[in-house]
Amino acid sequence: MRVPSADIRLPRGRRDPLRSLVVRVLVAVGLIVLVAMIAYLDRDGYRDVDDSPVTLLDAFYYSTVSVTTTGYGDITPVSDHARLISTLLVTPARVLFLIILVGTTLEVLAGRAREAYRERVWRRTLRDHTIICGFGVKGAAALETLIAHGIAPAHVVVIDVRPQVVDAARRQGLAGIVGDATAAATLEAAEVRTAAAVVVAPDGDATAVLVTLTARELNRKATIVAAVRDAENVHLLEQGGADSVVVSSGAAGWLLGQAVRSPRIVRVLEDLLNVGQGLDVVERDVAPGEVGPLAALPASAPVIAVVRNDEVLRFDDPRAAELQAGDRLVCLTSNAG
C-alpha cells in the first residue's frame, strides 16, 4: 500500500548541511579575496584594456571573473612575475572554486535522493515501535520514562502539529512527523499499523478521543494509552479503544491532597515516578517455579498485583492467592546501590 506523503523529519546526522554550506560559501569568498589581494599587490604587472591603472575595484573584478572562469580578458597579467603568480596561485584557486561549486550542486541534487533513501530504509525497519501523539509536557515525560525502561530513541516516532517541537524531538534522536494525529494519513505515515504502542498526549481531550479512535481503527493489536484532563472523558477513550487512560488533572489533584495529609507519602510516589532511580514498579511473567501460593514468593520484590487474562487483581484479592501459569506479576523493586 502506498503511504500518503507527509512532512517526515528523520533525526539529523552529525554534520549540519546548513553549516557545511556556509563553510563552502566562506571558502569561495575567501578565494576571491585572496586572488584580488594578489592582483592588487602586484598591480603593476597587470594591464587594463584601456591602459588605466589597476585599482582595488579592478583587482576584485579581475578576481571574480578569473576564479569563476568567466575570463573577459580586459584585465590580464603582462609581466613574467604576474603570469607566474597566476599559474601557481590563481589557477589552483580557480580549480578549487570549481570543485566547491560543482560539489555543492551535486550534494544538493543528491541530498534529495539521499533523504528519500533514508526514509525508505526507515520505513522498512520500523516495526514494534512506539508513537507519541503530542510532544508537550506529557509526551516528553512519557518519552523519558520509555527511554528509562530501555526503549531506544530510534524506536519512537513523534507526531505534533508544531514544526519547532518536532525539530526538538529530532535533536534527541527521534523521528518526527509534522501533522495532525487525528488524520489517518498522518498515523499511517508513522507506520501505525506495525506499531506496538501509541501514546496519546495532545493538549485537548477532544483531540485525544479522535486520535484514539483513529489509531485503534488502524491497529487492533497495539497498546494505546491516553491522557485526558477531565475524568468525565475517560469512558469515551475507553470505548474508543484505549487500553489505559490517565486523568492528568485528577492525578495532580490527588497528589496535592495527599501532600496536605501526608507529605512523606507524596515523596514515595515521586520516587516511584522517577524511573530508574530508587523504587520502581515492574511487570514480569510468573516463572514456572513460582506457580502456586503467592505468599511463597520472596519478600525482596513485593507483589502488589497479579495480571490474569487482562484483569488486574490486587495482592489482597483472594483470586490472586494462588498463582497460575500465564499470570504476570506487578512488583516493587529497588534500584538502590
CATH number of the domain to which 216 belongs: 3.40.50.720
Domain residue limits at 108: 14-125
Q: Please state, in angstroms and as integers, the Cα–Cα distance from residue 182 to each residue in 146, 148, 173, 210, 286, following that order.
A: 23, 28, 24, 6, 38
Question: Residue 211's pLDDT band (boundaries 50, 70, 90)?
Answer: very high
Q: Are residues 143 and 237 in the same domain?
A: yes
CA angle 250, 157, 285 (to 5 degrees): 65
Same domain, 112 and 144: no
Identify whether 260 is part of a domain: no
Confirm if 89 and 60 have CB atoms less than 8 A apart: no
Residue where a domain terminates, one of 125, 153, 172: 125
Task: Write out pLDDT tens, residues 274-297.
Answer: 666 677 888 899 998 899 999 899
Read off the pLDDT of each residue in 264-269 and give the average, rounded to a whole number: 77
Stated pTM of the model = 0.60
Q: Are residues 24 and 74 in the same domain?
A: yes
Q: Are residues 154 and 66 in the same domain?
A: no
Q: What is the pLDDT of residue 300?
A: 76
CB 158 within 8 A of CB 147: no
In whole angstroms, what is the distance from residue 206 CA to residue 61 CA? 64
Confidence of residue 1 (pLDDT cuts 50, 70, 90): very low
Last residue of a domain, one of 71, 92, 125: 125
In percent, the amount of the chain with pLDDT more than 90 equals 38
Nearest to 170 by CA among 186, 187, 153: 153
Q: How far apart are the first and last CA of the chain?
A: 51
In a domain, 235, yes or no: yes
Highest mean pLDDT among 46-55, 77-86, 115-124, 285-294: 285-294
Residue 71 neighbours by CB distance under 10 Å: 12
The answer to whether residues 152 and 209 belong to one domain is yes
Q: Is residue 179 part of a domain?
A: yes
54 and 84 assigned to the same domain: yes
Domain match, 136 and 247 both = yes
| 213 and 315 within one domain | no
pLDDT tens-digit readout, 158-205? 999 999 999 999 888 899 999 999 999 999 999 999 999 999 999 899
Name the E strands within the chain.
7-9, 46-48, 75-77, 130-133, 156-160, 175-178, 197-200, 223-228, 244-247, 279-285, 292-293, 303-308, 311-314, 322-323, 328-334
Q: Which CATH number do you get for residue 302?
A: 3.30.70.1450
Select from 99, 125, 151 the last residue of a domain: 125
Same domain, 170 and 116: no
- Mark whether 121 and 147 lie in a shared domain: no
pLDDT of residue 131: 97
| Rounded distance between C-alpha atoms, residue 6 and residue 85, angstroms | 54
Tens-digit pLDDT profile for residues 107-147: 666 666 777 777 888 888 899 999 999 999 889 989 988 88
For all residues of the chain together, what is the average pLDDT?
85
- Is 3 part of any domain? no
Q: Which three cell numbers stand for residue 189?
A: 505515515
Kindly tell me if the per-residue pLDDT of 17 is higher than 80.
no
Residue 262 domain flag: no
Q: Are residues 109 and 87 in the same domain?
A: yes
Does one domain contain both 147 and 241?
Answer: yes
The answer as to whether 86 is a domain residue is: yes
Domain of 74, CATH number, reads 1.10.287.70
298 part of a folded domain: yes
Residue 4 pLDDT > 70: no
Q: What total of structural domains would you count in the chain?
A: 3
Is residue 266 one of the residues assigned to a domain? no
